[in-house]
Each structure stands twice: as C-alpha cells, then as structure tokens.
C-alpha cells in the first residue's frame, strides 16, 4: 500500500478505537505503565505527554484534576498507533482486547462461518496474529477465512445432496481453525522474534506466513470447485477415475481453481506490503505444489487402517507446513531475503 492508503486505514481504525475509549478507560489505566516501553518510538512521546492522566488521583484533589475528554482521546490514539503498528510486535493484552471487541461486534456474521467454539479459537488465533504481525497479519487471515467460506458455499445444496459437502453447513470448528492456521501462527511468532531467528530472516518467515495461508486457500478452492464443477475426476496416484469428493481426487477444474486461490492470498499479502511483487509467484508456486502433495497424502494415508489419527485436519496442517517451508526455501535461494 502507498503511505496515503496506509494513513487512511490507520486514521479510520483509530476512530473506531476512540469510539470505545470511555468503556476501556479503566483497562488502559491499570496497564498504561506496562505498555509504555512496548509502544513504537514515534508514539512514545505523544503518550508520555498524557501519562499523568492515568496516575492515581487523591480524592481530595479529584475535582481539580479530572480527566479531560481530549486527553483520553489522545491517549487512546497513541494506543491505536501501537495497535496499528506494522513495524514490530503489539502488546498481547491490547491485541486480545481489540479482538474480543471485534469478534463481539461481528459475532452474527462470524457465526455463519464458524461454530461458537470455532469462533473462540479464531479469536485466540487472531490475538496471536495481531500481537506478532499487527493488523496486516490479522487481515490476511481474515481474507483467507472469507474467501474460503465463500467458495465452500458454491453449489453447496447440490454437494450436500451428493454427500460431499463440508459438515456443519460449511462452518469451521476449532480443528479447522488450527489445521488451517497453526503453521501461519508459528511463522508469525518466528517473524516477530527479530530481524533473524534460527538463521532465517524475518521477511522469509513472513513469506512463509503468506504462503501457508495461500496453500490452504489453494487446497480449499481445488476441493470445492472440483466437487462443484469437476467433470472428470482422477485419483492423483493412479489416474484412475473416481467420484468427486474422493480423498486424493483431482480434476482440471479444481486444479485451475487452486491456482486462483493461492493467487488471491498472495496478491492481498503484496497489496498490504507483507511481501514484494517478486515473491508473489514464489508463494503461488509453493501453494500449488503443496496442494498436490496434500492430494497424494489424502490418497495414500488418510482414512487408512491403523492411520486413523491422520485426519483431514492433520493433513491440512502438513499441507500448510509444506507450503510455508517450500516458500521460505525458494525465497532464501532465489530472492535474497
């Protein structure tokens, strides 16, 4: 994003935070001193101007030192700047508070995509992502959720009649949340450890983060579009014709859709400045390769005797792990990041 677009996003989000400033004042008051060292350098000075506003006030002088509305607004604005930071970690308790607020406000919409338990786990995931990668990492995961839920609904009634639709009306539960995004959260945590962690740069971990979610959306697009529109479906290991929805089955329509799914997440990651333009094909390629490996795993391991523990969610985790790791390896070898 250009600096102008990012500035607009920050101002709009700060306005949202300001609108709930008064109910949150008590929370901020008890923790303001803990947060001050973690705030971005550019926001520390503006925050410190108003730090006295949060100091305990003797009852005898309360009438003389009441908090002004402008002081509260400016202090919340400083906290908002920290929450909207894209240059470093955000305090976890601030990220958690904001996620609880957003998930509460959006509860009715989210329950169309998530079960109640799934929403609680998604809130925990969202808090971790905002605390490590800020709003960019959070919105990328939300974009994956919306795209994935939308494609799941394609010809859903028809797929349901054939017995190949996702259960629970396509809503995601806790196992789906972590099967899809555990790899992404691990990459986010590693990226937040500093410029380099385990000999891998922060930018490479961010590329792995984007690629892991691109991989999962690629897999979802391949599966759902293949079941909805696939005319001829083959088992990836033997090329034997099988029914749509069979584990390990692939089709031309689903394969093409998988590229679109990986591209959507990668393009969004680029549009918000998480990855460079030259990293887009790396992310899409890694997602495509990992998705096809996932089909092989589904055909050879999933549902087999003595391998009951290899569930769809386990395969999804392995799938995203391969996609993220492959993107990191390619990026390290060819992108010099």
Q: Name the stretches of the chain with pLDDT < 50.
A: 1-2, 8, 12-55, 62
Helix, strand, coil content of the chain in percent (nearest 5): 75, 5, 25
- Residue 320 in contact with residue 183, Cβ under 8 Å? yes
Distance CA 220, CA 62 (A): 59
Supply the pTM of this predicted model.
Answer: 0.75
DSSP one-letter string for 35-61: HGGGS-HHHHHHHHHTGGGGS---GGG
Helices (H) and strands (E) in the chain, counts: 13, 4
Distance CA 86, CA 134 (A): 6
- pLDDT tens for 31-46 read 444 434 333 444 344 3
> How buried is residue 13: exposed, middle or buried, by Cβ count under 10 Å (0-12/13-18/19+)?
middle
- Residue 168 in contact with residue 284, Cβ under 8 Å? no
Distance CA 142, CA 29 (A): 30
91's tokens = 């305090």
pLDDT at 330: 96
DSSP helix/strand/coil, 12: helix
For tokens 């998705």, what's the residue? Answer: 291
* Nearest Cα residue to 127 out of 147, 141, 146, 148: 141
């Amino acid at each position: 994003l250009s600096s102008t677009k990012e500035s607009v996003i920050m101002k709009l989000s700060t306005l949202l935070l300001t609108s709930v400033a008064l109910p949150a004042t008590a929370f901020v008051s008890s923790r303001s001193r803990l947060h001050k060292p973690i705030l971005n350098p550019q926001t520390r000075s503006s925050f410190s101007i108003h730090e006295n506003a949060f100091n305990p006030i003797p009852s005898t002088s309360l009438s003389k030192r009441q908090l002004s509305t402008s002081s509260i607004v400016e202090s919340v604005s400083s906290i908002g700047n920290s929450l909207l930071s894209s240059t470093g970690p955000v305090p976890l308790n601030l990220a958690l508070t904001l996620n609880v607020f957003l998930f509460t406000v959006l509860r009715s919409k989210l329950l169309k995509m998530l079960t109640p338990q799934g929403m609680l786990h998604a809130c925990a995931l969202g808090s971790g992502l905002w605390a490590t990668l800020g709003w960019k990492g959070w919105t990328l995961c939300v974009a994956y959720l919306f795209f994935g839920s939308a494609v799941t609904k394609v010809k859903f009634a028809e797929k349901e009649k054939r017995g190949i639709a996702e259960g629970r009306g396509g809503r995601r539960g806790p196992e789906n949340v972590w099967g899809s995004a555990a790899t992404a959260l691990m990459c986010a945590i590693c990226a937040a450890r500093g410029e380099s962690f385990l000999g891998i740069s922060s930018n490479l971990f961010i590329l792995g983060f984007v690629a892991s979610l691109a991989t999962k959306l690629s897999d979802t697009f391949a599966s759902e579009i293949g079941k909805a529109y696939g005319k001829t479906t083959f088992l990836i290991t033997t090329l034997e014709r099988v029914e749509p929805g069979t584990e390990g089955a692939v089709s031309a329509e689903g394969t093409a859709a998988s590229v679109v799914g990986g591209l959507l997440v990668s393009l969004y990651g680029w549009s918000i400045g998480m990855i460079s333009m030259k990293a887009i094909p790396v992310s899409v390629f890694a997602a495509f390769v990992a998705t096809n490996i996932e089909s092989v795993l589904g055909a050879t391991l999933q549902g087999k005797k003595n391998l009951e523990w290899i569930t769809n969610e386990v395969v999804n985790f392995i799938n995203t792990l391969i996609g993220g790791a492959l993107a990191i390896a390619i990026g390290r070898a060819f992108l010099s990041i």
